[in-house]
Amino acid sequence: MKPAHIEQFFATLQAANPNPQTELEYSSVFELLAAVLLSAQATDVGVNKATRKLFAVANTPQKMLALGLAGLEEHIKTIGLFRSKARHLMETCRMLTEQHGGVVPAQREALEALPGVGRKTANVVLNVAFGQPTMAVDTHLFRLGNRTGLALGKTPLAVELKLLKRIPPAYLVDAHHWLILHGRYVCQARKPLCWQCSVAAVCDYRAKTPAPE
């Protein structure tokens, strides 16, 4: 994708959605961290359904620890891989309490040191909670980077670094949200809705499936 097309690509997405937001529900940085940790290989809808009840009783690391592992598992048992996620979240709460005074750190190294928090999760927290221009490459961003020609790469890290390099600075903070939403609802994995796509004119991809009658 040419630089001029990249500018048009994001200008179009920005015009349609000037203030994009994550679809995960949260009211604090800790709730965001917990929700993102729980969202791996799960839908935001499913995570939100569980965390609405969970955060009503445990919305801080201290309260989560007081809830206990069994209590946490009971609240998130509808989420995939809930047992391992519960262990990771409990240990994360312990580390936040003992090493960070119960406050979620704003540094990548400290975030990635927390159990269950990898680069993608850290990027989401740094971007959404702290406004840093990070790029959390999930399945949607990886697909869009390669399919559109925006950022070709064989690994999530390769796509992430190219996105950060190629996206104009004015769009970087919100680009992660625009790409996720576009991938989730328009540029879908199996059948991209190219005939409904607002940025099809600047996309390198050419859909093989014709628009429906």
Q: Concatenated DSSP letters for the chain? A: --HHHHHHHHHHHHHH-SS---SS--SSHHHHHHHHHHTTTS-HHHHHHHHHHHHHH--SHHHHHHHHHHHHHHHHTTSTTHHHHHHHHHHHHHHHHHHHTT---SSHHHHHTSTT--HHHHHHHHHHTT--------HHHHHHHHHHSSS--SSHHHHHHHHHHHS-GGGHHHHHHHHHHHHHHTS-SSS--GGG-TTGGG-S---SSPPP-
For 105, other C-beta atoms within 10 Å of its C-beta total 21
Determine contact, residues 31/191, Cβ cutoff 8 Å: no
- Out of 138, 154, 191, 208, the active site residue is 138
> Has 120 been annotated as catalytic?
yes
> Has 85 been annotated as catalytic?
no
Q: Residue 84: left (phi > 0), alpha (psi -120 to 50), or beta?
A: alpha
- Out of 77, 85, 120, 174, the active site residue is 120
What residues are annotated to the active site? 120, 138
